[in-house]
């Protein structure tokens, strides 16, 4: 038996990029930053390292990401690792490893501002919601 599972708890580094495939399936591309804190053994100073994780979401989950998440949003993401390869016009091979999200929990509550038909701003509460989605 094999297992390919990733769990992240972090913040979005930028607003999600929304795309729609030719088939009509929604796609969301975003990046989650996580940090690791430790104390240096020699200097006793607190140290921190930050990692940036590219994430892709499909279907209903992508719609939720595109509608509710913005730069700085705190999220818990579960998914699997996928590595894509491609060749550029100069025949150089490239690799990209990303997380294909299957579940997400929005953390931190708060609100999102959205323009109404009258041009006024309205607040919409965001509830913490777990959304299981399969890749389409």
The predicted-structure confidence for 10-33, as pLDDT tens digits, reads as follows: 999 999 999 999 999 999 999 999
Assign domain 6-39+46-125 to its CATH superfamily: Nucleic acid-binding proteins (2.40.50.140)
Q: What is the pLDDT of residue 109?
A: 58
Q: Give the Cα separation of 99 and 42 in Å (integer).
A: 35
pLDDT, mean of residues 39-44:
90
Angle (nearest 5°) at CA 69 between 83 and 126: 135
| Secondary structure letter of residue 18 according to DSSP | E
Is residue 121 within 8 A of residue 115, CB to CB? The reply is: yes
Q: What is the pLDDT of residue 132?
A: 52
What phi and psi values does residue 66 have, to the nearest 5 degrees? Answer: -65, -30
pLDDT, mean of residues 55-79:
95
Beta bridge partners of 86: 94
């Amino acid at each position: 038996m094999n297992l390919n599972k990733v769990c992240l708890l972090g913040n979005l580094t930028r607003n999600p990029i929304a795309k729609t495939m030719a088939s009509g399936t929604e796609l969301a591309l975003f990046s989650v930053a996580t940090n690791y804190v430790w104390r240096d053994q020699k200097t006793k100073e607190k140290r921190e390292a930050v990692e940036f994780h590219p994430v892709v979401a499909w279907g209903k989950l992508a719609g939720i990401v595109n509608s509710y998440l913005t730069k700085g949003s705190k999220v818990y993401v579960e998914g699997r690792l996928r590595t894509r390869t491609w060749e550029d016009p100069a025949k150089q091979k490239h690799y990209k490893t990303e997380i294909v999200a299957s579940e997400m929990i929005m953390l931190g509550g708060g609100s999102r501002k959205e323009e109404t038909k009258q041009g006024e701003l309205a607040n919409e509460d965001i509830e913490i919601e777990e959304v299981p989605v399969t890749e389409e």
